[in-house]
């Protein structure tokens, strides 16, 4: 059985697939016509975020049974087209969930204690204590939107620290554990001091955090997004920061990322992004929350196992 690797992967993934008896072909840079010419008989394809798997792409591989995505999301795959062909699409969110949770926690603690600002002030020779008085996380209620593997892992990390956690998931009930409180979105609007978004990017969630969303919160909030950039309307966040509805924001993902997550789009920066860059109560990172040495290893080994299990079951 042939497995075609269409992006750089982890050695543990390749070793696992080879040990399972698959023939591996590395075709990182090959154009589609060349891929079809040489590898139309592929039954397994491994991708990351760079490649868009459209219905036309799938048509070019009539024997395809499994698509493995070395990552947490599947938004770069036409899932409806894959389902019509009965092609199994696999992902490994459990591989980087802990990394995302720790990154979100680090962003939140940095913002609550004004670390971006005090770093600058110290470099300028300023020693300002009273104006930089922070908040303790245990004094706040943290709202989690989306209780999948990512949101659940972050919620459990906070719960273990004794933090009050409110969790909302539109499509789940009965999932709360430990001290985590399952709640409605209205409960979050009423009670949350912090909001952390853990949603997949779909037609439903694109632009989810918009002006109406921020306006609905009774208290001013701290906002964290480690999920997908287009879930947030950046201009709405800027307005909420200006009005004080949002006290601070930590964004590992941006609305303006390329779909491959490799860089921002080319050209002048949008005004909303420029406005974020000017603020010291906004902390940005380049889509690295789930990108650690350990998470890459876990994703590689887990995806190999899932692919082999899927093949054996087919």
Q: Is 222 known to be catalytic?
A: no
Q: Is 287 known to be catalytic?
A: yes
Q: What's the number of CA atoms in the CB half-sphere (13 Å) around residue 115? A: 12
Which of the residues 14, 39, 228, 255 is marked catalytic? 228
Which of the residues 69, 91, 114, 287 is marked catalytic? 287
Q: State the CB neighbour count (10 A cutoff) for residue 106.
A: 15
Which of the residues 84, 257, 266, 278 is marked catalytic? 257
Under 8 Å CB-to-CB from 294, ≥6 apart: which residues? 98, 99
Torsion of the alpha carbons at 305, 307, 312 and 314, rounded to the nearest 10: 150
Q: Is 182 known to be catalytic?
A: no
Q: State the CB neighbour count (10 A cutoff) for residue 262.
A: 12
**Number of residues that make up the chain:** 314
Quick one: tokens of 248? Answer: 């601070």
For residue 157, what are the CA distances in angstroms to 39, 161, 290? 44, 7, 15
Round to whole Å and give the CA distance between 216 and 287: 28
Catalytic residue set: 228, 257, 287
């Amino acid at each position: 059985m042939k497995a075609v690797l269409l992006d750089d992967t982890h050695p543990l993934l390749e070793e696992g697939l080879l040990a399972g008896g698959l023939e591996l072909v590395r075709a990182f840079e090959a154009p589609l016509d060349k891929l079809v010419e040489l590898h139309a008989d592929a039954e397994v394809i491994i991708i990351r975020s760079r490649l868009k798997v459209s219905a036309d792409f799938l048509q070019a591989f009539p024997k395809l049974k499994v698509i493995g995505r070395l990552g947490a999301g599947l938004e770069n795959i036409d899932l409806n087209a894959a389902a019509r062909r009965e092609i199994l699409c696999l992902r490994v969110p459990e591989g980087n969930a802990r990394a995302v949770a720790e990154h979100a926690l680090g962003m939140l603690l940095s913002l609550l204690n004004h670390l971006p600002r005090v770093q600058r002030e110290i470099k300028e020779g300023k020693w300002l204590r009273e104006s930089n008085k922070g908040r303790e996380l245990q004094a706040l209620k943290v709202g989690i939107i989306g209780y999948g593997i990512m949101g659940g892992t972050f919620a459990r990390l906070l719960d273990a620290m004794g933090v009050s956690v409110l969790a909302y998931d539109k499509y789940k009930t009965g999932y709360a554990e430990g001290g985590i409180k399952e709640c409605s979105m209205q409960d979050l609007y009423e009670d949350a001091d912090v909001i952390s978004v853990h949603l997949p990017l779909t037609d439903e969630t694109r632009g989810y955090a918009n002006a109406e969303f921020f306006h609905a919160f009774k208290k001013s909030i701290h906002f964290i997004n480690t999920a997908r950039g287009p879930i947030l309307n950046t201009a709405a966040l800027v307005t909420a920061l200006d009005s004080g509805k949002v006290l601070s924001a930590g964004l590992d993902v941006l609305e303006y990322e390329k779909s491959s997550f490799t860089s921002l789009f080319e050209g002048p920066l949008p005004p909303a992004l420029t406005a974020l860059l000017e603020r010291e109560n906004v902390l940005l990172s380049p889509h690295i929350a789930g990108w650690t040495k350990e998470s890459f290893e876990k994703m590689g080994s887990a995806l190999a196992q899932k692919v082999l299990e899927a093949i054996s079951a087919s």
